[in-house]
Amino acid sequence: MRPPAERGGPPRIVYFYLAVIVVTWAANWPMMKLALGDAPPLVFVLLRLIGTIVLLAPALHAMRVPLLPIPGERLGLFWIGQLQVAAFLVFAIIGLSIEAAGRAIVLAYTFSLWAIPIGLLLGVERLGRFHLIGAAIGFAGLVLFMNPALVDWTSARTLLGNAFLLLSAMTWALGSCLYRRRIWRTPFWTQTFWQLAVSAPVVVAFAAPQIGGEPIHWSPALIAILSYNWVVTTALGYFLWAVVLTAMPAAAAGQVLALTPVGGFLISTAIFGGAVTADVIVAIALIVAGIILTLRR
């Protein structure tokens, strides 16, 4: 059964939510790259999760929002949280620690590429002609972002970083498609909090070897980046993403999110240096064309 909002087309506010996600998530990747100079990768993810949970719990309690999903939905949201939050954040930060921020964000956001076959396999996506044509064009732009002029495919370390980033994209896509297999009655903020909370123990297990190793340098920059992650990209971002997925297919929403790696690449280039070459310009044009076709009614 498809969500009611989808039958009449997504409300306009959904596109505003997507715009907020695109802008805030694009800016976050170069920020996280800078933060890795002060904190080990997995420890940074752990601090990001715990900080968000600590801030969100009392806020939700004050708003009288339940912290636990309704019975019958807890296990489903648990597994979605492991995929969309824990696995994505862990794989993505490991890849980001190896790859340049601009390259890392492009690989991680091939999420939309994996959402189509996974969605079709799970029976949650029914894509029309324009969706498929737009997806093909948009994904061609993403592939162009990974050409040898931008990625050193002869380096084993680069290949390892690419593998982790692609794994992060696959787990995010799988979690999003599983989310759309049913209509959830649990409030969105409760869903968000629960997915973050159940992901924390898994991240603790992965981060444990780094906790007693490399020390954390508590610089003003690290604190500012963590604060941004706590409030904007993690709590607000996952909340808006859950809302978006109730109104449009994960594949279509993923095409809009294809603008995120474009923005992230340009911001990273401005911060860390590098030229915007012809292949980058062509890739941007392909991605934008794919988005227009994918969202065509």
Burial class (CB in 10 A: 0-12, 13-18, 19+), 153: exposed
Of 91, 78, 68, 248, the C-alpha closest to 175 is: 78
Task: Give domain status of residue 246, yes or no.
Answer: yes
Alpha carbons 226 and 36: distance in angstroms, whole number: 11
Could you report the per-residue pLDDT of 2-11, keeping only the tens digit for each?
444 445 567 8
Q: What pLDDT is recorded for position 215?
A: 86
pLDDT value, residue 1: 42
Residue 87 has pLDDT above 80, yes or no: yes
Q: Give pLDDT, residue 225.
A: 95
Question: Is residue 115 situated within a structural domain?
Answer: yes
Residue 19 maps to a domain = no
7 within domain boundaries: no
For residues 159-174, give the mean pLDDT. Answer: 92
Q: Is 36 helix (H, G, I), strand (E, B) or coil?
A: coil
pLDDT range class, residue 277, cuts 50, 70, 90: confident
Does residue 9 fall inside a structural domain?
no
The pLDDT > 70 percentage for the chain reads 91
- Each residue of 101-155: pLDDT tens digit? 887 887 887 777 777 788 888 877 667 777 778 778 878 887 887 777 777 778 8
Range among 146-155, 165-174, 206-215, 233-242 with highest mean pLDDT value:
165-174
Q: How many domains does the chain have?
A: 1
pLDDT score at 106: 78
**pLDDT on residue 2:** 45
Long-range CB contacts for residues 136-140, cutoff 8 Å, separation at least 24: 136/290, 137/286, 137/289, 137/290, 137/293, 138/112, 138/255, 138/258, 138/286, 138/287, 138/289, 138/290, 138/291, 138/293, 138/294, 139/110, 139/112, 139/113, 139/290, 140/286, 140/290
DSSP string, 176-228: HHHHTTS---S-HHHHHHHHHHHHHHHHHHHHHHHHTSSPP---HHHHHHHHH
Instruction: Give the pLDDT mean for 175-203.
Output: 92
The parent domain of residue 197 ranges over 27-294
Residue 5, in any domain of the structure: no
pLDDT-derived band at 90, boundaries 50, 70, 90: very high
pTM over 0.85: no
Answer whether residue 206 is part of any domain.
yes
Residue 222, CA distances (Å) to 34, 45, 206, 254 in order:
8, 12, 21, 29
Please give the Cα distance from 266 to 256 (Å, whole number).
Answer: 17
Between 48-52, 100-104, 123-127, 180-184, the lowest mean confidence (pLDDT) is in 123-127
Q: Is residue 224 part of a domain?
A: yes
